[in-house]
Structure 1
Amino acid sequence: MKKSLWLAAIAVLAIGILAACGGGKDKEEGSKKAEETVTIEAKNFEFDQKEYKIPANKDVALKLENVDGNHALMIEGEDVNIAGGSSDVVNLKPGEYTLRCSIPCGNGHADMVSTLVVE
């Protein structure tokens, strides 16, 4: 009897762990489908470009790849925070937006800034 209870407890725990591990989908896979994808590469302590351009009022997937270090990407003034190795679909109005690393990544973290031009 005790052995059966022990095995049942282990099975429940294993199912819980497997369910938690399966929840890491990109937001891009959600209800929005991107019309294009822009990949942003992050390394200590810079993004691969000073400026990125995307079309206004269209669904665009922003994908962050960590080349060196652990980084995430935020768009100032927007509810967007993309962890390294994932993406998010955005649909922005025309303008210039500031991109920043949102994970304190070391001494050069404050300088890790780029511009997103939406036109």
Structure 2
Amino acid sequence: MKKLVLSFMIIMLVSIMAACGGEDHASSEQGGGETVTLNASNYKFDKEEYKAKAGDVTIQLKNAEGYHGITVEGTDMKIDGEGKATANLKAGTYKIICSIPCGEGHQEMTALLVVE
């Protein structure tokens, strides 16, 4: 009986670890493409505007201070906490918004992604 319970617990632990180990992706990452890194701190991103070439664009979010997430308007890109998301973007301007309430300045925590 003890072996059965131990085996069950090991299987559950492995299942939980496998479920928690992935990163959020808006679409599958493909080779090529361009990566844009956003460094988020309380109530601001490190830049007001980021640039990338049209095609596969990967956004990498790093939290320098506080806990933040992003959504990119007009796309299905979403990151909660630190991570990456990739999407095939056409030329245009996309608004990046902090998606996790982070305090008084949260409403103003936006930036632009200009895809050329």
TM-score (norm 1): 0.84
Please report how far the alpha carbon of residue 44 of structure 1 lies from its aligned counterpart in structure 2 after TM superposition. 0.4
Tell which deviates more after alignment, 44-53 or 4-13. Answer: 4-13
Match of 1:65 in 2: 62
User: Is 1:36 equivalent to 2:9 in the alignment?
Assistant: no
Distance 1:116 1:39, change over 3 A: same
RMSD: 2.1
2:94 maps to which of 77, 94, 97? 97
* Unmatched tracts of structure 1, length 5 or more: none
* Unmatched tracts of structure 2, length 5 or more: none
Matching of residues 1-119 of structure 1 within 5 Å: 2-22=1-21, 24-25=22-23, 27=25, 30-56=28-54, 58-119=55-116
Between the aligned partners of 1:53 and 1:33, the Cα distance in structure 2 is: 19
2:51 aligned counterpart, secondary structure = strand
1:98 aligned counterpart, secondary structure = strand
Please report how far the alpha carbon of residue 83 of structure 1 lies from its aligned counterpart in structure 2 after TM superposition. 2.6
Between the aligned partners of 2:44 and 2:29, the Cα distance in structure 1 is: 31
Q: Deviations over 1:70-118 (max 9, x none)?
A: 1011111221112332111122122111111001111110000111111
Distance 1:71 1:29, change over 3 A: same
Instruction: Tell me which amino acid in the other structure corresponds to 2:43.
Output: F
Structure (1 or 2) with the larger CA radius of gyration: 1
Please report how far the alpha carbon of residue 66 of structure 1 lies from its aligned counterpart in structure 2 after TM superposition. 0.5
2:79 aligned counterpart, secondary structure = strand
